[in-house]
A and B are shown apart, each in its own frame.
Chain A
Amino acid sequence: MYAIKDARLAGTFVVLGAWIQLLSLICVTFPLFTFGAKTIFVCADFFLTPFDAAFVVLTSAVAACAFTHGHIFFEGELVGSDPPTSANVRVNYACAMFFVLAMYGVYFCKNLGYLWVCVESTTLLSAPLVYFSRTRHALEATWKYLIICSVGISFALLGTLFIFASAQHGAVSGGTLRVTELIEAASKLDPKLLRFGFIFCFLGYGTKCGMFPLHSWLPDAHSEAPAPSSALLSGSLLNCALFAIFQIGQIVSASGNRLSSEFTLWSGTVTVIAASLFLIRQHALKRLFAYSSIENVGVMLVAIGLNSGWLFFLQALNHSIAKVSLFLLSGNIVQATGSKSLSDQSGLMASAPVWAVLLALSVFAGTGAPPFGTFLSEWLILMRAADLHYYVNVVLLIIGVSLSFIAVCMHVGKVIFGTRNPHLQCFRPLASSAIPALLVVCSLFLGLALGPLMWPLMWGSSSDPRGNNVTWRLDGENWQ
């Protein structure tokens, strides 16, 4: 893409490539979801299960939406008052494509060492995306992002080494980093080393996913990056880091240790509460949605702590769809007003009613209001937590999610209503509404139509974090 000198032409190729990639991935992974195939096997260290394939397709869909909207967004930037250079845009496209490739690698890797390499690669390849505008604020955000995430990932490498050492002590001759072998030999892993390994990996990958209190880089990076890059960062990168935590949590749970479940559950709950408090006092639109992403990371951590992979995926799916829509719309608004500050963005309903309606619907979708899909996933997570007797967590989550809903609606309400901004200049308002509209419709579809269909996928036999077998029927009554 960088070799093509015209930024617009490069953008066209990127968009075409992204949609072809999405369709190809759907075709390749289709047998996993329908014909009973268990894996797409490349080698012992790289293969896809249906669960991994779902995330790969989700990442591809997010990338396709972000690149498509990005083509229009960067066209607007290039004709704006302070246009970026063509080289900047082309570097952005090139890095974004490699960034998406690295994210695919995270889901393909079934070896903790290669998983670490892929996660670190996502940090390195996404740093240029944050640095796009070359301003002082972008520089500050990129520096914080690079340093905090790299140090965090170093601790994750140390944790990986501890897990490798735990396998060497009697479980697997010579040690292993393969997830399947670690799960099979889980009961023989050295418990002390495994505990150290989990804690360091959790801290490391938790930094990468923006868990409280290691989240300080996230609002800066997501707000300084251009809107399509913010959508990629929020809609897919966070899922990668959480997926790594999920993989390692599976190994620790298989060894009979409840540390990973309880720790993850409580970290998620605290993250939700902290993020909802931060949301009350915000001054910039994209930072507001970045803190909303942190809140959703907390909800996903709760799902992982409840040992439910499919609830984690469902929340990730709904969050990604809503958050991508929110960031793309916020990019339109920031581009039209020339300001990131909430105080400069008001009266959107009068100036750009289509954007205003889509923004309102996306906010409802992103904050877990019915009838959107996020409501369904959060409701199911709360139900599962309550049925497993984590009542304190349920109460705290309800408080946190409610608080964040009120805070976000309050801020966005001021953007939608109020005095019309005379300086607002929309660039291709209908074209730039297409992808957010599609995503809002998808979120609505997930909430209304797929709800009953999702229950059998989620509620098969499973064991709860306390080790009890739990079987659910379609009508919701649980058996033991």
Chain B
Amino acid sequence: MSLTIYEVVSLLSAVIAVLMLGSKSLPLQVSLFSVQIWLITGETVFFAYQYNHWEFYGVALILFLQRAVFVPLFLERILREIHVSRDPGMILPAPLTMHLSILFFGLSFFVAQNFPAPGPGGIVVATATASISHLFSGIVMMLTRRLALSQIIGFLTIENGVYLFALTQTNGLPVLIEMAVLFDILGAVMIGGVLVFGIKRSFEHIDVSQLKDLKH
């Protein structure tokens, strides 16, 4: 099966998301997240060019500035301030979570084959695989990592999967809604960042698995 550049870029982004799970180093995870966004931005620009949706150049620009520039700088600043650089993992060690994510990548391929083709084009399986794999990678990261910052990165990876799904399977949501969604997610990240500082100050760590004082 031959792949177009469109599909290769989306699959590469999903592979980067899987690779991210194999690392215990938080700065590396932030860098790999940034690379994901570069690829997704490139996908958006390609989509805008191919289907003459000029407004998506604006979406690509906002996405790039927010998630490839602002969010990594914000997360790196948090890492410098709280002096944390490694996440040892929780239920599974980091390398095993990467292997689990690879399995889910394969599962995504089988799930993607059930989707009907979008209107123009007909590119479905590869890009749907990539977007579903992003979702699974983000979920695995949120479930298997201890540190609050890893959970934020996992959440953003899920959002990348949802965005990629919107772009490739539905030819993009209306632009105003896309912009509003991007700013909402940015707000969530910023509030999450403020809470991470608060957790570090109050608990002397950012291990969310230790936050269990409130009982049923």
Contacts and interface: CB of A to CB of B under 8 A. Distances in A.
A193 interface: yes
Nearest to B173: A113
Contact of B177 (A117, A137, A141, A154): A117
Contact of B158 (A123, A151, A193): A151
Given A120-B184, A124-B188, A143-B195, A161 B166 contact: yes
A10 B155 CA distance: 36
Interface stretch (B71-79, B84-92, B197-205): B197-205
Contacts of A175: 170
A420 interface: no
A124 B170 contact: no
B181 A161 contact: no
A192 B135 CA distance: 20
Contacts of B211: 139-140, 143-144
Interface in B160-216: 162, 165-166, 169-171, 173-174, 177, 180-181, 184, 187-188, 191-192, 195, 198-199, 202-203, 208, 211-214, 216
A117 B202 contact: no
Choose among B114, B191, B213 the residue with the greatest number of A CB atoms under 10 Å from its CB: B191
Interface stretch (A49-57, A164-172, A454-462): A164-172
Interface in A100-116: 111, 113-114, 116
B81 to A, nearest CB: 17
A147 B192 CA distance: 8
Interface residues of B, number: 39
Interface residues of A, number: 45
A158 interface: yes
Contacts of A398: none
Contact of B173 (A131, A140, A154, A164): A164
A113 B177 contact: yes
Contacts of A116: 177, 181
B45 to A, nearest CB: 21
A165 B158 CA distance: 19
A193 B116 CA distance: 9
Contacts of A154: 155, 158-159, 162
Contact of B170 (A140, A168, A223): A168
Contact of A168 (B118, B212, B216): B118
A143 B198 CA distance: 10
A190 B180 CA distance: 27
Given A139-B199, A143-B211, A150-B188, A161 B180 contact: no
B189 to A, nearest CB: 9
Contacts, number: 110
A285 B173 CA distance: 45
Given A124-B184, A154-B162, A157-B162, A220 B191 contact: no
Contacts of B188: 120, 123-124, 146, 150
A451 to B, nearest CB: 37
A171 B212 CA distance: 48
B213 A117 contact: no
Nearest to B192: A146
Contacts of B181: 113, 116-117, 120, 157
B198 A139 contact: yes
Nearest to B210: A140
A467 B108 CA distance: 36
A412 B169 CA distance: 53
Contacts of A128: 191
B177 A131 contact: no
A223 B216 CA distance: 12
Contacts of A224: 214
Contact of A177 (B174, B184, B208): B174
Interface in A158-195: 158, 161, 164-165, 168-169, 174-175, 177, 190, 192-193
A278 interface: yes
Contacts of B166: 161
B113 to A, nearest CB: 13
B59 interface: no
A466 interface: no
Nearest to B132: A158
A142 interface: yes
Query: Which 10 A-B pairs give the minimum distances between C-beta atoms?
Result: A113-B177, A117-B180, A140-B211, A120-B184, A220-B214, A124-B187, A165-B170, A136-B202, A154-B158, A150-B188
